[in-house]
């Protein structure tokens, strides 16, 4: 049998004329020798045999080889394949992720985003990590939606400091019955797009199909709605809306033509296997998320999650370690090569060399500015200096506006 390096393409090329000839119900297969000279082979079995050869080639190919050979994103990853990549020795994994990154992105560019809380606190949901849930005593006060002028002022400052994407977050469960809020937010989006030439992203909780269409009509670039963690670990973190509710909002957003910004939080007491499950859900989305935020939990006093993390034994594998953050990022880069992977909340708790390793592993975006909703953020000056030291520059607006 003639095989190319991957034992696949040449075989297909040789078989193609035969498959074309067999366009009827059956075909005559004439082997050079063997007992079944001239035997009729039903077309379906020919197709099956070609398919099973293809499957067998794919199944003998390692998951890493499969990721490396992709020229466009693959959306049918198995959990086992993702685990195989996640478990690759760390140095090799980071090296391969950096190569993958260079294949799909300009390695000198980093997207700078600034996030503004446009409606803080008083949320009815019970996300165990969140300072804005009205169920926990965290000292965060419920506020009203801020004005368009306040938003424009903050977006202008962000632009002057080099940010190209402006994100706005409101602590709401969903947009049901919030017609006036939706109108105001749509105006914020259009004005930031038109007057400042910045990309826009909002995170407002769950959206139905019509609300997603309304936001698309205002020119919204991306909608953030995180899946947070793996499907299995999710019920340990949130009970007031399901994992599938989250997926439905993401589908509504994508169907409306808005880019999906979706990722999660590491450090919610999950295991490495949950990182694999989390990535499995994201990597099987069609299309893949355009933006994939990786947050690192900042435990907030008064939330149940802080109490749970504090109670974990020191050596528990549910305590997040740097190598797990790096593995998650590098694996994401291998299996979702087009996505913009952003180091989000909790970055300020990381030392510069720890952030550097995350960039080596395939990160290419950060949130920068004064605040990340209720937690701290690294400031623009500090970030610009850091990126200059690393030889990186800010990505221009609307450079990346499609994913497949
Ligand atoms: S994470 Fe969002 S939905 Fe959950 S409590 Fe906080 S603001 Fe509400």
Give the active site residue among 113, 261, 358, 363: 261
4 in active site: no
Residue 350 to residues 7, 303, 330, 356, 378, Cα–Cα distance (Å): 44, 22, 17, 10, 10
Pocket test for ligand 1, best of 123, 134, 242, 375 (most atoms within 8 A of CB): 123
Q: How far is the CA of 158 from the centre of ligand 1 (A)?
A: 24
Reduced to 3 states (helix: H, G, I; strand: E, B; else coil), residue 211 is helix
Report the distance separating Cα 400 and Cα 105, nearest Å.
10
Select from 374, 336, 305, 291 the least CA-distant residue to 121: 374
Q: Is the pLDDT at 56 greater than 60, yes or no?
A: no
Report the distance separating Cα 193 and Cα 217, nearest Å.
12
Q: Picking from 22-31, 242-251, 384-393, which range would have the lowest pLDDT averaged per residue? A: 22-31
Q: How far is the CA of 1 from the centre of ligand 1 (A)?
A: 58
Provide CATH 3.20.20.70 ranges for the chain: 103-394
Confidence of residue 104 (pLDDT cuts 50, 70, 90): very high
pLDDT number for residue 12 = 37
What percentage of the chain exceeds 90 in pLDDT?
74
Name the strand (E) or helix (H) holding 112: strand 109-119
Residue 312 phi, psi (nearest 5): -70, 140
Q: Picking from 57-71, 178-192, 277-291, 389-403, which range would have the lowest pLDDT averaged per residue? A: 389-403
Q: How far is the CA of 92 from the centre of ligand 1 (A)?
A: 37
Q: Distance from CA of residue 313 to its chain's centroid? A: 30
Average pLDDT over residues 206-233: 97
Residue 237 to residues 126, 229, 281, 306, Cα–Cα distance (Å): 8, 9, 17, 12
Q: How far is the CA of 55 from the centre of ligand 1 (A)?
A: 43
Reduced to 3 states (helix: H, G, I; strand: E, B; else coil), residue 338 is coil
Q: Which residues line ligand 1 (CB under 6 A)?
A: 123, 125, 127, 130, 132-133, 171, 205
* Count of CB atoms situated within 10 Å of the CB of 55: 10
Classify the C-alpha dihedral 13-16-18-21 as positive or negative.
negative
Q: How far is the CA of 57 from the centre of ligand 1 (A)?
A: 45
Confidence of residue 29 (pLDDT cuts 50, 70, 90): very low
363 in active site: no
Q: What are 86-95's pLDDT values in tens digits?
A: 999 999 999 9
Contacts of 71 by beta carbon, 8 Å cutoff, 6+ apart: none
Residue 5 to residues 11, 59, 65, 69, 96, Cα–Cα distance (Å): 11, 15, 12, 12, 19
Q: Picking from 47-56, 296-305, 391-400, which range would have the lowest pLDDT averaged per residue? A: 47-56
pLDDT number for residue 254 = 97
Q: Picking from 67-81, 198-212, 341-355, 387-401, which range would have the lowest pLDDT averaged per residue? A: 387-401
Select from 323, 170, 377, 344 the least CA-distant residue to 264: 344
Contacts of 118 by beta carbon, 8 Å cutoff, 6+ apart: 145, 146, 151, 168, 169, 170, 185, 188
Residues 307 and 138: beta-carbon distance below 8 Å = no
Report the distance separating Cα 125 and Cα 133, nearest Å.
6
Average pLDDT over residues 144-156: 95
Q: Which two structure tokens, joined as six digits, stand for 347? A: 């970055």
Kindly give the pairing relationship between strand 365-367 and strand 371-372.
unpaired
pLDDT number for residue 371 = 64
123 in active site: yes
pLDDT number for residue 395 = 86
Q: What are 288-335's pLDDT values in tens digits?
A: 999 999 999 999 999 999 999 999 999 999 999 999 999 999 999 999
Beta bridge mates, 264 = 228, 294
Reduced to 3 states (helix: H, G, I; strand: E, B; else coil), residue 283 is helix
pLDDT top residue among 96 and 9: 96
Report the distance separating Cα 300 and Cα 137, nearest Å.
10
Ligand 1 atom at minimal distance to the Cα of residue 130:
6
Ligand 1 atom at minimal distance to the Cα of residue 203:
2
Q: Is the pLDDT at 4 greater than 50, yes or no?
A: no
Report the distance separating Cα 169 and Cα 181, nearest Å.
12
Q: Is the pLDDT at 43 greater than 70, yes or no?
A: no
| Torsion, Cα of 41, 47, 48, 51 (10° steps) | 140
Report the distance separating Cα 350 and Cα 33, nearest Å.
67
Q: Is the pLDDT at 34 greater than 70, yes or no?
A: no
Please name the residue whose Cα sits nearest to atom 4 of ligand 1.
Answer: 127
pLDDT number for residue 355 = 94
DSSP class of 37: T
pLDDT number for residue 380 = 74
Q: Is the pLDDT at 37 greater than 90, yes or no?
A: no
Average pLDDT over residues 125-138: 95
Residues 237 and 203: beta-carbon distance below 8 Å = no
pLDDT number for residue 403 = 52
Average pLDDT over residues 382-404: 78
Q: How far is the CA of 148 from the centre of ligand 1 (A)?
A: 22
Give the active site residue among 66, 113, 127, 333: 127
Ligand 1 atom at minimal distance to the Cα of residue 131:
6
Give the chain's mean pLDDT: 85
Q: Is the pLDDT at 259 greater than 90, yes or no?
A: yes
Q: Which CATH superfamily is domain 103-394 in?
A: Aldolase class I (3.20.20.70)
pLDDT number for residue 397 = 73
Residue 230 to residues 96, 205, 351, Cα–Cα distance (Å): 24, 19, 27
Residues 107 and 344: beta-carbon distance below 8 Å = no
Give the active site residue among 113, 123, 363, 377: 123
Pocket test for ligand 1, best of 128, 129, 132 (most atoms within 8 A of CB): 132
**Cβ-count burial 287-319 (b if 16+ within 10 Å, e if not):** bbbbbbbbbbbbebeebebbebbeeeeeeeebe
Confidence of residue 394 (pLDDT cuts 50, 70, 90): confident
Average pLDDT over residues 228-235: 98
127 in active site: yes
Give the active site residue among 167, 358, 363, 377: 167
Q: How far is the CA of 366 from the centre of ligand 1 (A)?
A: 21
* Count of CB atoms situated within 10 Å of the CB of 67: 25
377 in active site: no
pLDDT top residue among 368 and 4: 368
Q: Which two structure tokens, joined as six digits, stand for 17? A: 């004329």
């Amino acid at each position: 049998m003639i095989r190319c390096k991957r034992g696949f393409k040449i075989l297909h090329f040789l078989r193609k004329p035969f498959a074309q000839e067999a366009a009827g119900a059956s075909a005559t297969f004439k082997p050079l020798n063997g007992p079944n000279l001239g035997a009729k082979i039903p077309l379906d079995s020919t197709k099956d045999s070609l398919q099973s050869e293809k499957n067998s080639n794919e199944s003998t190919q390692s998951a890493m080889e499969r990721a490396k050979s992709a020229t466009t994103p693959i959306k049918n990853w198995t959990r086992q394949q993702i685990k195989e990549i996640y478990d690759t020795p760390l140095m090799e994994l980071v090296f391969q992720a950096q190569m993958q990154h260079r294949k799909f992105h300009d390695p000198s560019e980093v997207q700078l985003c600034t996030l503004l809380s446009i409606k803080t606190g008083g949320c009815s949901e019970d996300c165990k990590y969140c300072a804005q849930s009205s169920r926990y005593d965290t000292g965060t006060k419920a506020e009203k939606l801020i004005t368009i002028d306040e938003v424009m002022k903050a977006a202008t400052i962000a632009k002057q400091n080099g940010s190209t994407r402006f994100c706005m977050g409101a602590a709401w469960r969903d947009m049901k019955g919030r017609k006036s809020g939706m109108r105001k937010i749509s105006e914020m989006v259009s004005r930031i797009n038109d007057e400042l030439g910045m990309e826009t992203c909002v995170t407002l909780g769950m959206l139905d199909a019509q609300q997603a269409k309304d936001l698309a009509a205002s020119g919204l670039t991306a909608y953030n709605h995180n899946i947070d963690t793996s499907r299995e670990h999710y019920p340990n973190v949130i009970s007031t809306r399901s994992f599938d509710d989250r997926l439905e909002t993401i589908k509504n957003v994508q169907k409306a033509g808005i880019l999906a910004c979706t990722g999660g939080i590491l450090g919610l007491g999950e295991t490495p296997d949950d990182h694999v499950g989390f990535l499995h859900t994201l990597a099987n989305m069609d299309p893949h998320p355009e933006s994939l935020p990786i947050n690192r939990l900042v435990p907030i006093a008064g939330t149940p999650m802080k109490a749970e993390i504090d109670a974990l034994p020191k050596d528990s594998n549910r305590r997040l370690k740097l190598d797990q953050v790096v593995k998650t990022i590098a694996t994401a880069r291998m299996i979702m090569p087009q996505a913009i992977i952003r180091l989000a909340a909790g970055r300020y708790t990381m030392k510069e060399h720890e952030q550097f390793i995350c960039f080596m592993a395939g990160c290419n975006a950060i949130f920068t500015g004064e605040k990340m909703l209720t937690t701290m953020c690294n400031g623009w000056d500090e970030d610009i200096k850091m990126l200059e030291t690393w030889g990186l520059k800010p990505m221009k607006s609307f450079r990346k506006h499609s994913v497949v």
